[in-house]
Chains A and B, each alone.
Chain A
Amino acid sequence: MIPLILVFCPLLAAVAVLAGAPARQTSLSAAAITLLAALFAFANFDHTQPYNFITSFPMSAEWKLNFSLGLDGLSLIMALLTAIVTLAAIWFTGEITRHENAFYACLLFISAGAMGAFVSLDLFFFYAFHELALIPTFLLIGIWGSGDRYGAAWKITIYLATGSFILLLGLIMLYRSVPEAARSFDLRALQTASRAVPADVQQNIYLLLLIGFGILISLFPFHTWAPEAYASAPAPAAMLHAGVLKKFGLYGLLRIALPMLPEGARHWAWLLILLLLGNIIYVGLVTIAQEKLDWMLGYSSVMHMGYVFLGIASGNILGTSGAAMLMFAHGLSIALLFAIAGEVRARTGTLSFADLGGLAKVMPLAGLAFGLGAFASIGLPGFANFAAEVMVFFGAFHNGADMEQFHVMQIATLLGLWGVVISAVYMLRAYRAVFMGNMPERWASLPDLRGYFRLPITLLVAALLYVGFFPQMFVRILTPTFQNYFSQKVAEQ
Chain B
Amino acid sequence: MSSALPYYILLLPLVSAAALLLFTRRYASLSAFVSVGASIIGFVCACLVFRESEFATTDLPWIDLRPLFYVPIGLTLDGLSKTMLVLVTGVGGLIHIYSLGYMQDDAGKSRYFASLSLFMFSMLGIILANNFVMMFIFWELVGVSSYLLIGHWFERDAAAEAAKKAFLTNRIGDFGFMLGILMVWSATGSVIFRDIAGKMTSLTSHPGYLTIAALLVFCGAVGKSAQFPLHVWLPDAMEGPTPISALIHAATMVAAGVYMLVRVGFLIQASAQALHVIAWIGTITAVMAGLIATQQNDIKRILAYSTLSQLGYMIMAVGLASGEAAMFHLFTHAFFKALLFLGAGAIIIMLHHEQNIWKMGGLGKRLPITCATFLIGTLALIGCPPFSGFFSKDTILGLAYEKDKLIFYIGLCTAFLTAFYMLRLVLVVFFGKPRSDNALRGDEAPFVMTGPLLVLSVPALLAGFGFFAKIFLILPRVEEAGHVVPTLAVVAMLLGVIAAVSLYRKRESDPIDLAFLRKRFYFDELYAWLIDITQEFLAGLSAFIDHWIIDALGVRGASTTTWGVGSLLRCLQIGNLQAYAFIFGLGIIGLIYFAVFK
Residues of A contacting B591 in the complex (Cβ-Cβ under 8 angstroms): 124, 127, 168, 171-172
| Distance, CA A418 to CA B176, complexed state (A) | 9
- CB within 8 A of B64: which of A168, A171, A381, A472? A472
Q: Are B63 and A397 in contact (CB under 8 A)?
A: no
- Interface mask (B199-241 → A, CB under 8 Å = 1, otherwise 0): 0000000100100000000000000000000000000000000
Q: Are B68 and A398 in contact (CB under 8 A)?
A: yes
Residues of B contacting A390 in the complex (Cβ-Cβ under 8 angstroms): 63, 71, 133
A475 interface residue (CB < 8 Å to B): yes
| Distance, CA A221 to CA B155, complexed state (A) | 39
Q: Are A289 and B167 in contact (CB under 8 A)?
A: no
- The residues in A between 211 and 247 inclusive whose CB is less than 8 angstroms from any CB of B are 221-222, 224-225
Q: Are A153 and B168 in contact (CB under 8 A)?
A: no
Also in contact, A471 and B63, with CB within 8 A (given A158-B559, A397-B182, A403-B206): yes
A92 interface residue (CB < 8 Å to B): no
| Distance, CA A101 to CA B163, complexed state (A) | 45
Q: Are A375 and B572 in contact (CB under 8 A)?
A: no
Residues of B contacting A437 in the complex (Cβ-Cβ under 8 angstroms): 154-157, 160-161
Residues of A contacting B186 in the complex (Cβ-Cβ under 8 angstroms): 397-398, 401, 403
- The residues in B between 93 and 119 inclusive whose CB is less than 8 angstroms from any CB of A are none
A261 interface residue (CB < 8 Å to B): no
- Interface mask (B574-585 → A, CB under 8 Å = 1, otherwise 0): 010100110110
Residues of B contacting A290 in the complex (Cβ-Cβ under 8 angstroms): 543
| Distance, CA A428 to CA B163, complexed state (A) | 9
Also in contact, A176 and B575, with CB within 8 A (given A157-B568, A317-B65, A397-B182): no
How many whole Å from A281's CB to the nearest CB in chain B?
Answer: 9
Q: Are A286 and B182 in contact (CB under 8 A)?
A: no
How many whole Å from B159's CB to the nearest CB in chain A?
Answer: 8
- The residues in A between 181 and 230 inclusive whose CB is less than 8 angstroms from any CB of B are 183, 185, 221-222, 224-225
A452 interface residue (CB < 8 Å to B): no
Q: Which of A172, A286, A435, A475 has the most CB of B within 10 A?
A: A286
- CB within 8 A of A424: which of B171, B179, B565, B598? B171
Residues of A contacting B178 in the complex (Cβ-Cβ under 8 angstroms): 393, 417, 420
Residues of A contacting B136 in the complex (Cβ-Cβ under 8 angstroms): 381
- The residues in A between 30 and 47 inclusive whose CB is less than 8 angstroms from any CB of B are none
Residues of B contacting A135 in the complex (Cβ-Cβ under 8 angstroms): 577, 580-581, 584
Residues of B contacting A438 in the complex (Cβ-Cβ under 8 angstroms): 155-157
A321 interface residue (CB < 8 Å to B): yes
Q: Are A285 and B160 in contact (CB under 8 A)?
A: no
Q: Are A63 and B596 in contact (CB under 8 A)?
A: yes
Chain B at the A interface: SS class:
helix
| Distance, CA A158 to CA B555, complexed state (A) | 7
B402 interface residue (CB < 8 Å to A): no
Q: Are B140 and A142 in contact (CB under 8 A)?
A: no
Q: Are A436 and B137 in contact (CB under 8 A)?
A: no
Also in contact, A420 and B171, with CB within 8 A (given A124-B591, A289-B543, A397-B186): yes
Q: Are A142 and B573 in contact (CB under 8 A)?
A: yes
B69 interface residue (CB < 8 Å to A): yes
Q: Are B558 and A479 in contact (CB under 8 A)?
A: no
Q: Output the nearest chain B residue to A176 by Cβ-Cβ distance.
A: B598
Residues of A contacting B175 in the complex (Cβ-Cβ under 8 angstroms): 417-418, 420-421
Q: Are A436 and B63 in contact (CB under 8 A)?
A: no
Also in contact, A413 and B572, with CB within 8 A (given A172-B595, A432-B161): no
Residues of B contacting A432 in the complex (Cβ-Cβ under 8 angstroms): 160-161, 164
How many whole Å from A182's CB to the nearest CB in chain B?
Answer: 14
Q: Which of B141, B187, B558, B569 has the most CB of A within 10 A?
A: B569
Residues of B contacting A268 in the complex (Cβ-Cβ under 8 angstroms): none
- CB within 8 A of B65: which of A321, A380, A386? A321
- The residues in B between 120 and 153 inclusive whose CB is less than 8 angstroms from any CB of A are 133, 136-138, 140-141, 144, 151
| Distance, CA A283 to CA B62, complexed state (A) | 32
Residues of B contacting A80 in the complex (Cβ-Cβ under 8 angstroms): none
The stretch from B84-92, B416-424, B546-554 touching chain A is: B546-554
How many whole Å from A162's CB to the nearest CB in chain B?
Answer: 9
Residues of B contacting A439 in the complex (Cβ-Cβ under 8 angstroms): 155
B538 interface residue (CB < 8 Å to A): yes
Q: Are A155 and B63 in contact (CB under 8 A)?
A: no
| Distance, CA A288 to CA B539, complexed state (A) | 6
How many whole Å from B162's CB to the nearest CB in chain A?
Answer: 11
| Distance, CA A165 to CA B586, complexed state (A) | 11
Q: Are B65 and A165 in contact (CB under 8 A)?
A: no
How many whole Å from B508's CB to the nearest CB in chain A?
Answer: 35
How many whole Å from A89's CB to the nearest CB in chain B?
Answer: 20
| Distance, CA A429 to CA B565, complexed state (A) | 40
B436 interface residue (CB < 8 Å to A): no
- CB within 8 A of B542: which of A282, A382, A413? A282
A270 interface residue (CB < 8 Å to B): no
Residues of A contacting B171 in the complex (Cβ-Cβ under 8 angstroms): 420-421, 424
| Distance, CA A348 to CA B569, complexed state (A) | 31
Q: Output the nearest chain A residue to B143 by Cβ-Cβ distance.
A: A380
- CB within 8 A of B62: which of A414, A425, A472? A472
- The residues in B between 24 and 64 inclusive whose CB is less than 8 angstroms from any CB of A are 61-64
Also in contact, A286 and B161, with CB within 8 A (given A142-B573, A155-B555): no
- CB within 8 A of A286: which of B144, B543, B575? B543
| Distance, CA A397 to CA B181, complexed state (A) | 11
A16 interface residue (CB < 8 Å to B): no
How many whole Å from A164's CB to the nearest CB in chain B?
Answer: 7
A326 interface residue (CB < 8 Å to B): no
Q: Output the nearest chain A residue to B134 by Cβ-Cβ distance.
A: A381
A159 interface residue (CB < 8 Å to B): yes
Also in contact, A436 and B155, with CB within 8 A (given A138-B580, A403-B209): yes
Also in contact, A154 and B569, with CB within 8 A (given A225-B555, A288-B539, A428-B167): yes
| Distance, CA A421 to CA B140, complexed state (A) | 12
B197 interface residue (CB < 8 Å to A): no
A51 interface residue (CB < 8 Å to B): no
Residues of A contacting B556 in the complex (Cβ-Cβ under 8 angstroms): 155
B23 interface residue (CB < 8 Å to A): no
Residues of A contacting B558 in the complex (Cβ-Cβ under 8 angstroms): 158
| Distance, CA A360 to CA B155, complexed state (A) | 8
How many whole Å from B536's CB to the nearest CB in chain A?
Answer: 8
Q: Are B535 and A382 in contact (CB under 8 A)?
A: no
Q: Are A131 and B555 in contact (CB under 8 A)?
A: no
Q: Output the nearest chain A residue to B165 by Cβ-Cβ distance.
A: A428
Q: Are B154 and A475 in contact (CB under 8 A)?
A: no
Residues of A contacting B540 in the complex (Cβ-Cβ under 8 angstroms): 289
Q: Are A168 and B587 in contact (CB under 8 A)?
A: yes
- The residues in A between 146 and 160 inclusive whose CB is less than 8 angstroms from any CB of B are 150, 153-155, 157-159
Residues of B contacting A366 in the complex (Cβ-Cβ under 8 angstroms): none
Also in contact, A154 and B137, with CB within 8 A (given A435-B154, A471-B63): no
A143 interface residue (CB < 8 Å to B): yes
Q: Are B154 and A436 in contact (CB under 8 A)?
A: yes
How many whole Å from A153's CB to the nearest CB in chain B?
Answer: 6
Q: Are B63 and A286 in contact (CB under 8 A)?
A: no
Residues of A contacting B8 in the complex (Cβ-Cβ under 8 angstroms): none
Known: A138-B580, A139-B575. 13 other contacts (CB 8 A): A164-B587, A172-B590, A175-B594, A221-B554, A283-B542, A285-B538, A286-B539, A286-B542, A317-B65, A381-B141, A397-B185, A421-B171, A437-B157
What residues make up the interface of B, taking CB atoms closer than 8 Å to A? 61-65, 68-69, 71, 133, 136-138, 140-141, 144, 151, 154-157, 160-161, 163-164, 167-168, 171-172, 175, 178-179, 182, 185-187, 206, 209, 535-536, 538-543, 546, 550-551, 554-556, 558-559, 565, 568-569, 572-573, 575, 577, 580-581, 583-584, 587-588, 590-592, 594-596, 598
- List 28 A–B pairs whose Cβ atoms lie within 8 Å, in order of A's numbering: A131-B588, A132-B584, A138-B572, A138-B580, A142-B575, A153-B572, A154-B569, A157-B568, A158-B559, A172-B591, A175-B595, A224-B550, A225-B554, A316-B68, A360-B155, A361-B154, A387-B63, A401-B186, A403-B187, A403-B206, A413-B182, A421-B171, A424-B167, A436-B155, A437-B154, A471-B62, A472-B61, A475-B65
3 tightest A-B CB contacts, nearest first: A289-B543, A436-B160, A381-B137
